Structure 1
Amino acid sequence: MMSETGTRTHECLREADSLEFGRELGARLRAGDLVLLAGPLGAGKTVLVKGIAAGMGVTGPVTSPTFVIARVHRPGGDDGTTLVHVDAYRLTALDELDDLDLDTDLTDAAVVVEWGEGVAERLGDEYLVVRLHRRDDDVREITLEPHGTSWAERIVS
């Protein structure tokens, strides 16, 4: 469902639905993309990233980078885009984000930041906020909020 503000909301009844939604989003990502994931613990951020990685052709396991802060996942083929998966939950200051040098990664990779809202927006003028909400009936609602014309055009379909 698309709103007048350009947001799009999707319901995921099962984990498999979240993975598929992530695959579809991942298939659209390219080098230079910045995606910020927002939602409480247990909302399904890492599950969504697993789907995004699959859509990007990433091989190997995708796990939460909570303790290492960032993981780099390479695509299985020569023509794919690298995924940099960041967990900003433990970052306590903006300069810690700067220490990760993510603006450099943005030239060569798609960067997905869990807990990134309020911290990582300054990495680019164009970014996508993905809000995850777990309802009482265990259904996940995923809302895409585009920031910049590139994202507004890409999430319409």
Structure 2
Amino acid sequence: MTDRRVELPTAADTAALGRAIGARLRPGDLVVLAGPLGAGKTCLAAGVGEGLGVEGPVTSPTFVIAREHPPLPAALGGRGVVLVHVDAYRLGVGTAVTPDPREVAAQLDDLDLDTDLTRAAVVIEWGEGVAEHLVAEHLLVRLDRTGTVDDPEAREAHLRGPARLVGP
């Protein structure tokens, strides 16, 4: 496992990190995004979609729980990898009541993400502690707001996972 810390002064930097991650993803890869509300998880996921070259835009799937984005044609930058973008917040992960991780994991299993992982890269917002069982290795990206009143956009990302996905 490799660890990396990245300063993200702006939302554009967060999206750029997502693009870099997306450029390395293959079918079967799982990216778990963690962090408080407003930390930039969806912005990072949108960047992943750009790096994969999928039909978009990639937006928060909060109300539908999961959204599939097929790849663009190669002539338009598609890499042939489907993106499945999941938001586990509505499964109780992001609520004030701490959910039973086994219950959330069972709800994720009901989404058949293990089947999706045979043909797609999967990004799960709010998935820490409940999605890791889906694959042997995954990339965890923890986002934290580090901004101030004068610089509210600043974030920091902590990446942990296989070196191929963590990057330089």
TM norm structure 1? 0.89
Write out aligned runs for 1:132-147 (5 A): 132-137=143-148, 138=152, 139-146=154-161
Deviations 1:55-86 (A, max 9, x none): 00012211101110000001112552000000
AA matched with 2:109: D
Contact 2:3 2:160 in 1 (8 A): yes
Count residues with an aligned counterpart.
Answer: 149
Which position in structure 2 is the counterpart of 1:59? 55
Which position in structure 2 is the counterpart of 1:74? 70
Summarize the Cα distance change of 1:69–1:17 in structure 2 as closer, same or farther, 3 Å threshold.
Answer: same
Contact 2:21 2:165 in 1 (8 A): no
1:130 equivalent in alignment to 2:145:
no
Write out aligned runs for 1:41-56 (5 A): 41-56=37-52
Identity of aligned residues (%): 59
AA matched with 1:29: L
Write out aligned runs for 1:12-27 (5 A): 12-27=8-23
1:152: how far off?
Answer: 2.7
How far apart, CA to CA, are the structure 2 residues paired with 1:124 and 1:8? Answer: 21
Q: Structure 1: 5+ residue runs without aligned partners?
A: none
AA matched with 1:20: A
Query: 1:132 aligns to what SS in structure 2?
Result: strand
Query: CA RMSD of the aligned region, Å?
Result: 1.4
Provide runs of 4+ in structure 1 moved above 2 Å: 152-157
AA matched with 2:88: A
Summarize the Cα distance change of 1:57–1:153 in structure 2 as closer, same or farther, 3 Å threshold.
Answer: closer
1:153: how far off?
Answer: 4.2
How far apart, CA to CA, are the structure 2 residues paired with 1:13 and 1:42? Answer: 14
Query: 1:133 aligns to what SS in structure 2?
Result: strand
Which position in structure 1 is the counterpart of 2:97? none
AA matched with 2:33: L
Contact 2:139 2:166 in 1 (8 A): no
